[in-house]
Amino acid sequence: MTSRTRTLARSAAVLLALTALAALTACTSGTAATKDTSVAASSTTLRAAAGKFGLKVGVAVNTDRLDDPAYAQLTGDEFSTVTPENAMKWGLVEPTEGTYDWTAADKLVAFAQAHGQLVRGHNLVWYQQLPTWLTDAAPKMSAAQLSAILKAHITAEVTHFKGEIWQWDVVNEAFDDNGELRNDIWLEKLGPGYIADAFRWAHEADPAAKLFLNDYGIEDAGIKASAEYAFVQDLKSQGVPIDGVGFETHLDATYAAPDLETQLAKFAGLGLDVAVTEADVRDQLPVSKADVATQSDIFAQTMQACVDVPQCISYTVWDLDDKDSWIPQTFSGEGAATLYDDSLKPKPQFTAVQKVLVKAEKSAPQRSK
Ligand code: G3I
């Protein structure tokens, strides 16, 4: 190659890179238009390390904050899957009966596609964040009316996102802490069969999406985990199209880490995928250095549990940073539950999780595609 052709080739390469950058910027316009220089991806990103053995690492996203370039940059660089923290919940997508507003959810799906990420859809049936038109009218409805409304909602939402969602949390937090099915409007009016129906309707609308039952408090053996296991076993034996169980994994550093690996493996033994769907580790504020070490250790243990179970296909943290975390509003005096601090700097908890993934790169069981 002459020096002139070398220069031409170099110019062409630069042009190609600039074009790709422009295309990416165009794709993400309306999300993050510019890169932020105050935050940087880690030297080994979580998504790259986990990707070596096919594990996806995810984050719950506040879609409003995607307009903050620093927030968008970390979300895109470090994670390979995203979950809308609120944007796909019923009350937000259908505030008025029959009128859907997909704006925020579509924005997240576009962001994910522009960043080569998969999406966990969250959620289709829950007892919280329901629209008031529904909660006001439900007590007076017949079972047939409520069932028709539930089917219409699931069908509309899953159809809207058909082909774009990797995993759907079809039914969220269906069990109470005492191991009974939660006595919410769904159970009260429709009986326990609403859960199997929800899975069947979601499957009809998008047969390729992986359908999950998602819950908290099943990370350790106990009355709730046993009840949920028996219930899922029954769904499987009836041929209900359930693909996985999500372990929310909202933990408190005051208590010892749960034996998550045993529970993940137990549910995976039913022929299902499993996933850590909402990991965070809270503590009393302000946190001491020793508290941070404990939180880091608990985060590392939960990531290790997922790494060690080949059917654990994704590990998602609930909220990117402490500023956005749901914890302080819900648990008075507690917080510091995420991997990043208020100014988006990675905390020791981040490094602890990263270390587990880097160590696992060569030895972890490969996830099937
Ligand atoms: O949208 C309204 C806004 O209009 C209003 O001005 C503002 C005033 O407080 O409230 C906004 O709604 C809030 C909503 O988040 C969106 O920000 C609700 O008050 C608030 O309760 C809601 O909290 C969400 C919570 O689910 C609802 O239960 C949290 O952000 C979200 O992190 C949390 O996520 C759940 C998972 O979906 C299921 N598992 C547990 C997890 C933590 O609770």
261-283 per-position pLDDT tens digit = 999 999 999 999 999 999 999 99
Asked if residue 92 lies in contact with residue 157, where contact means CB atoms within 8 angstroms, the answer is: no
Cα three-residue angle 274-234-307, rounded to 5 degrees: 15
Q: Cα of 130 to ligand 1 centre, how many Å?
A: 11
Residue 164: which of 108, 220, 226 has the closest Cα? 108
| Axis-axis angle for helices 289-308, 260-268 (nearest 10) | 20
The β-bridge relationship of strands 334-335 and 273-284 is antiparallel
Q: For 208-245, what is each residue's pLDDT tens digit?
A: 999 999 999 999 999 999 999 999 999 999 999 999 99
Q: Of the residues 61, 82, 86, which should be mutated to test ligand 1's pocket, given the most ligand atoms within 8 Å of the CB? A: 86
Ligand 1 centre and the CA of 194: distance in Å? 24
> Would you mind telling me the total number of residues written for the chain in this entry?
369
Quote the pLDDT of residue 41: 81
Q: What is the pTM of this model?
A: 0.91
Measured CA to CA, the distance from residue 198 to residue 176 in angstroms comes to: 19
Report, as ranges of residue numbers, the positions in the chain whose pLDDT lies below 50. Answer: 1-33
**Radius of gyration from C-alpha coordinates of the chain:** 21
**How many angstroms separate the CA atoms of 344 and 57, rounded?**
18
Cα of 361 from ligand 1 centre, angstroms: 36
pLDDT of residue 30: 37
Pocket perturbation via mutation, ligand 1, pick of 326, 327, 330, 338 by most ligand atoms within 8 A of CB: 326
Give the Cα separation of 57 and 278 in Å (integer).
Answer: 11
pLDDT value for 16? 35
Q: Whose CA is nearest to atom 22 of ligand 1?
A: 86
Q: Measuring from atom 21 of ligand 1, which residue has the nearest CA?
A: 129
CB 203, CB 170: distance < 8 Å:
no
Please name the residues in contact with 48: beta carbons below 8 A apart, sequence gap of 6 or more.
Answer: none
pLDDT in tens, 166-187: 999 999 999 999 999 999 999 9
Q: In this prediction, what percent of the chain has a pLDDT beyond 70? A: 90
Q: Quote the pLDDT of residue 39.
A: 82
Q: Strands, E, within 250-326: which ranges?
A: 250-252, 273-284, 312-317
Residue 68 is which amino acid?
A: D
Pocket of ligand 1 (CB under 6 A): 85-86, 128-129, 172, 248, 278, 326
Cα of 364 to ligand 1 centre, how many Å? 35
Quick: pLDDT tens for 94-115: 999 999 999 999 999 999 999 9
- pLDDT, residue 40, reads 78
Q: Three-state DSSP class for 294?
A: helix
